[in-house]
Amino acid sequence: MEQDLIVGVNPILEKLRAAPEGISKILLARGPLRPTLKSLETDARKLQIEIQFVDAKELDYLAHGQNHQGALAQVRAYSYAPFSELESTTSEARSQTVLILDGITDPRNFGAILRTAEAVGARDIIIPKDRSVRITPVVLKASAGAVSHLRIYRLTNLRRALMSLKSSGFWIVGLDANATETYDSKEYPNKLGIVLGSEGRGLRPLITKQCDYLVRIPMKGKMPSLNVSVAAAILLYEVSRQHSGVDKGKPDG
């Protein structure tokens, strides 16, 4: 059975809360335990999860330089959700935000985006199989455990996925630095797909053509664009702000 590692106390605690059955073993640094590690040990033992105490140097080696805080968890390799599962819910949904990531390659950016998506209630994330980061221990750490609360779909054809969403009544917005409209000038419908492009390259033309409209985040300084995870947070929180109010219909234009 393939296994991954979760590195650090908070990501492990989130896994314990969300899906403890996926944890095969927790490794803790040998020696007196800090209160956070003692709490982690207590929670794990209540769930009858195996605990193993090892030297800190072994944790350093296994974590490959990540800050493990004295704790690692061995878990089953991440299982991506089948896209058919998402398709079965989209037609009947009255309000749903789906995040589509077109080729994010940096695991820390990916993890930060997932953390923000979970915070605003965007539970469904679509990523491509090719030229994109997957769920890795670095992503799990950067997401601070948010991965455990999300449904992530890894597909070979993003264009087809966008077409499926649109057939279920979704509008698709792409974030593009060259767009004429700003992100805060639009009224976002309740059924919305948000597309973010890769670091540096942005959205691929094939994916841009599937967007109903494009928006940008205005830049007043000398830098041409923001880090993709920061840009994602700005747009996701604007959408969340709007959706927390009255129902919205179709976007203008």
Instruction: Confirm whether 146 is domain-assigned.
Output: yes
What local confidence, expressed as pLDDT, does residue 247 receive? 46
What local confidence, expressed as pLDDT, does residue 246 receive? 46
What local confidence, expressed as pLDDT, does residue 87 receive? 93
Mean pLDDT calculated for residue range 115-122: 96
Looking at the fold, whether 187 and 110 belong to one and the same domain comes out as: yes
Domain end, chosen from 60, 76, 92, is at 76
What local confidence, expressed as pLDDT, does residue 156 receive? 94
Q: What is the CATH number of the domain that holds 118?
A: 3.40.1280.10
Looking at the fold, whether 99 and 62 belong to one and the same domain comes out as: no
Nearest to 188 by CA among 251, 101, 94, 125: 251
Q: What is the DSSP string of 51-71?
A: EEEE-HHHHHHHHTTS--TTE
Looking at the fold, whether 51 and 153 belong to one and the same domain comes out as: no
Q: Given a cut of 50, is residue 248 above it in pLDDT?
A: no
Ranges of beta strands (E only) in 95-242 are: 96-102, 124-128, 151-155, 171-175, 181-182, 191-197, 213-216
Instruction: Confirm whether 251 is domain-assigned.
Output: no
What local confidence, expressed as pLDDT, does residue 65 receive? 83
Mean pLDDT calculated for residue range 9-38: 91
What is the average pLDDT value for the chain, to the nearest integer? 90
Burial class for 13, CB neighbours closer than 10 Å (0-12, 13-18, 19+): buried
Looking at the fold, whether 175 and 129 belong to one and the same domain comes out as: yes
Q: Given a cut of 90, is residue 126 above it in pLDDT?
A: yes
What local confidence, expressed as pLDDT, does residue 108 receive? 93
What local confidence, expressed as pLDDT, does residue 224 receive? 67
In angstroms, rounded to a whole number, what is the distance separating the alpha carbons of residues 123 and 119? 9
What local confidence, expressed as pLDDT, does residue 219 receive? 86
Q: Which residues pair with 125 in a beta bridge?
A: 99, 152
**Please, where are the H alpha helices in 31-157?**
35-46, 56-63, 83-90, 107-120, 137-142
Looking at the fold, whether 95 and 202 belong to one and the same domain comes out as: yes
Looking at the fold, whether 69 and 90 belong to one and the same domain comes out as: no
Quick: pLDDT tens for 74-103: 988 888 999 999 999 888 888 999 999 998
What local confidence, expressed as pLDDT, does residue 132 receive? 92
Q: Which domain holds residue 68?
A: 3-76
Domain end, chosen from 76, 98, 126, is at 76
* Residue 32 to residues 74, 91, 210, Cα–Cα distance (Å): 22, 54, 56
What local confidence, expressed as pLDDT, does residue 249 receive? 46
Looking at the fold, whether 107 and 219 belong to one and the same domain comes out as: yes
Domain end, chosen from 76, 93, 126, is at 76
Looking at the fold, whether 38 and 55 belong to one and the same domain comes out as: yes
pLDDT tier, 3 (very low <50, low <70, confident <90, very high otherwise): confident
Domain count along the chain: 2
Mean pLDDT calculated for residue range 150-156: 96
Looking at the fold, whether 56 and 110 belong to one and the same domain comes out as: no
pTM (2 decimals)? 0.80
pLDDT tier, 2 (very low <50, low <70, confident <90, very high otherwise): low
The pair of structure tokens assigned to 216 is 């940008």
